[in-house]
Structure 1
Amino acid sequence: MVCSGCSHFKREYEENLENICPFCRTHSPNSHEECHENTLKRAEADDPIAVCEIGEMYYRAGDESAYKYFAKAAEMGDAVAHYNLSDSYRRGEGVEKDERKEIYHLEEAAIRGHPDARHDLAMEEGRNGRFDRAVKHWVIAANLGHDDSIQRLKKCYTHGVVSKEGFAAALRAHHAAAVATKSLQREIVAKSNNI
């Protein structure tokens, strides 16, 4: 994600410190428009994350041209763009519904480390009766810190589909991922966004 720390931490403003973002260490933009201009500049330089963010901006505005930005960012290898394309093909938003393309982009996002995509692949495998593959996807997603996946594995364990050792290993990896991503800054942002 393009850094938006500037919009969350105002200490520099309040204490008359140098106007530097605590995350990216660049000078903080003075307005939302300046943030948007920075994202546009990064997109023009073919930054896939910025291109995907522009697509998300268009998507939130209900503009179907979001698809072309997702497609461009996906061509550059962005996992979030692949996930968004998968969702577009599933819903038929900006493109015609296409299950084959939906699964393709879901797999591409999962391969690139997108935990929601990995979880969704597990759900798809479960719907198709391939529970052994579903469990493998849930384990990978849980290792990435995906909460719903660890809950699914818990249900699988209670139904005897996952061994005690397998569930314990997934639980340890999930906990390690959760601990690794904890920080005071993330907690402050989560509280400010009511997450």
Structure 2
Amino acid sequence: MSCVPVVDHSGICANCGKHESDIIKLKNCTACRFVKYCGVDCQRAHRKQHKKACRRRVAELKDEQLYSQGRERPEGDFCSICTLPIPLPMSDLSVVNACCMKRICKGCSVAAQLRGMDDCPFCRTPFPDTDADVLAMIQARVAKKDPAAINYLGEKYFHGRLGLQKDMQRVIELYNEAAELGSTNALFNFGNLYYLGDGVEKNTAKGVEFYEKAAMRGHVVSRHNLGISEVQKGNYDRAVRHLLISAKMGFKDSLETMKQLFMTGQATKAQYAEALKGYQDAVEEMKSHDRDEAKRLGY
């Protein structure tokens, strides 16, 4: 019997052709969910015929998720005070205070300073004086199972900061715990570790898996990195699909890469125009008077 995908509502066993009834209950192929079987024996008998179509359908389902999810920036990408999305790269244009682990854009941070506030603009906790005090604040948040704090502490161990010795075993433990608690940044950090071989044995495939998980949660740089990975493989159609998403989320590097692909004939004029318009719209959404003032003052 040929392996022709059976639509989900047909109620026919893909191997023997039996129809579903009150007596015969069919179950979907657990991988592709595209064909049905009346039992394990039929599924096994049909496996050789179905394998190729099954793998193709699984890949299609994965792509549907990969390109449809994570097209909006997550809550953590928005300033905790003005609630606007933070310009990219966020590490250059925002601060995270150890007291509350809230990310605050440079505009709101500078505005608070200009108003004479010398404590955290979000929770009003006085700023710590020493690295030891900063570390104590982070560890207090870690003890409360704050995923942002756990990931943040992992980053400090990775770079050997705040008086900590670089410890890759501890880094992986913390990133893993943070990821399990929902930290998208921890997934991105894992992606960097394996894709670049930075402190661990290089494994680009594993790195891509972590980038994909982070990208589907809206992590912009992970999405961009997936695009770059596809460019390096020569998969330009897939690269453009990723880069369009990250450019529209306001990442200039993605727009620049789209421009290069357009100039070399790997992306169309329409695709580059779409990326440019989306990028400009995202940048406009991130503007504020306080951010402009911070930039004017050199912050």
Q: Structure 1: which 5+ runs fail to align?
A: none
Residue number in structure 2 paired with 1:119: 224
Higher RCO, Cα 8 Å, sep 6+: 2
Deviations 1:154-189 (A, max 9, x none): 122223333333222221211122222234248637
CA contact (8 A) 1:107 1:118 kept: yes
The farther-off stretch of 28-37 and 116-125 is 28-37
TM-score when normalising by structure 2: 0.55
Deviations 1:76-121 (A, max 9, x none): 2322111111111134344333233211111111112122111111
Superposed counterparts of 1:22-37, under 5 Å: 22=121, 24-32=122-130, 33-37=132-136
| CA 1:10–1:142: 2 relative to 1, 3 Å | closer
Residue number in structure 1 paired with 2:251: 146
CA contact (8 A) 1:66 1:94 kept: no
| CA 1:128–1:26: 2 relative to 1, 3 Å | same
Separation in 1, partners of 2:210, 2:128: 37
Alignment of 1:90 onto 2:195: yes
Separation in 2, partners of 1:175, 1:128: 29
AA in 2 matched with 1:51: I
Superposed counterparts of 1:105-184, under 5 Å: 105-183=210-288, 184=290
| Matching residue within 110, 134, 145 for 1:46 | 145
Separation in 2, partners of 1:12, 1:123: 39
CA contact (8 A) 1:67 1:88 kept: no
Alignment of 1:188 onto 2:294: yes
1:4, distance to aligned residue in structure 2 (A) = 6.5
1:153, distance to aligned residue in structure 2 (A) = 0.9
| CA 1:38–1:182: 2 relative to 1, 3 Å | farther
AA in 1 matched with 2:167: D
| CA 1:136–1:92: 2 relative to 1, 3 Å | same
The farther-off stretch of 95-104 and 31-40 is 31-40
Separation in 2, partners of 1:78, 1:4: 14
Separation in 2, partners of 1:86, 1:12: 36
CA contact (8 A) 2:119 2:127 kept: no
CA contact (8 A) 1:121 1:134 kept: yes
Question: Secondary structure of the equivalent of 1:191?
Answer: coil
Deviations 1:3-51 (A, max 9, x none): 375x955966984x6x6533x2433334344443332222222211111
Residue number in structure 1 paired with 2:59: none
Separation in 2, partners of 1:84, 1:113: 14
AA in 2 matched with 1:103: V
AA in 2 matched with 1:191: G
CA contact (8 A) 2:228 2:239 kept: yes
**Over aligned residues, Cα RMSD in angstroms?**
2.9
Greater percentage in helix = 1
Q: Structure 2: which 5+ runs fail to align?
A: 1-95, 161-165
Separation in 1, partners of 2:124, 2:206: 39
| CA 1:172–1:46: 2 relative to 1, 3 Å | same
Separation in 1, partners of 2:262, 2:236: 12
| CA 1:187–1:75: 2 relative to 1, 3 Å | farther
For this pair of structures, how many residues does the alignment match? 188
Q: Which has the larger radius of gyration?
A: 2
| CA 1:26–1:186: 2 relative to 1, 3 Å | farther
